[in-house]
Amino acid sequence: MKKILSSLLLIVGLQTMSAYSQEATVPAFATIFQFSTAEQASVVAAISTFAQSECRKSMPTAIRVMAENWNGTEAPTHSVIFNFTDAKSITETFGKMQQCRAAGNLIAVLKEHTQSVSQRLLRTLHTGGDYTKDTTYVVWQTSVTDEATYVAAYKKLMEAQEKAGLVRGAYGLWRIQGGADSNVTHMAFSGAKDLETLLENGVPSKAFAEFQKKVGGIRKVYRTNVNYVVADL
Check whether 91 has a pLDDT greater than 90: yes
Residue 24 — very low, low, confident or very high, per pLDDT cuts 50/70/90? very low
Separation between Cα atoms, residue 193 and residue 202, nearest integer Å = 17
pLDDT, average across residues 169-184: 95
Handedness of CA 99, 103, 106, 107 (dihedral sign): negative
Separation between Cα atoms, residue 178 and residue 175, nearest integer Å = 9
107 strand-pairing partners: none
Q: Under CATH, what is the fold of the domain 125-228? A: Alpha-Beta Plaits (3.30.70)
Separation between Cα atoms, residue 73 and residue 22, nearest integer Å = 31
Compare 12 and 164 and report the one with higher pLDDT: 164
Rg for the chain, CA atoms, rounded: 18
Q: Under CATH, what is the fold of the domain 2-122? A: Alpha-Beta Plaits (3.30.70)
Count Cβ atoms below 10 Å from residue 108 Cβ, excluding itself: 12
Check whether 191 has a pLDDT greater than 90: yes
The packing angle between helices 101-113 and 40-51, to 10°, is: 170
Check whether 13 has a pLDDT greater than 80: no
Separation between Cα atoms, residue 27 and residue 86, nearest integer Å = 8
Residue 100 and residue 158 in contact, taking contact as beta carbons nearer than 8 Å: no
Separation between Cα atoms, residue 137 and residue 170, nearest integer Å = 9
Check whether 11 has a pLDDT greater than 50: no
Where are the domain boundaries for CATH 3.30.70.100 in the chain? 2-122, 125-228
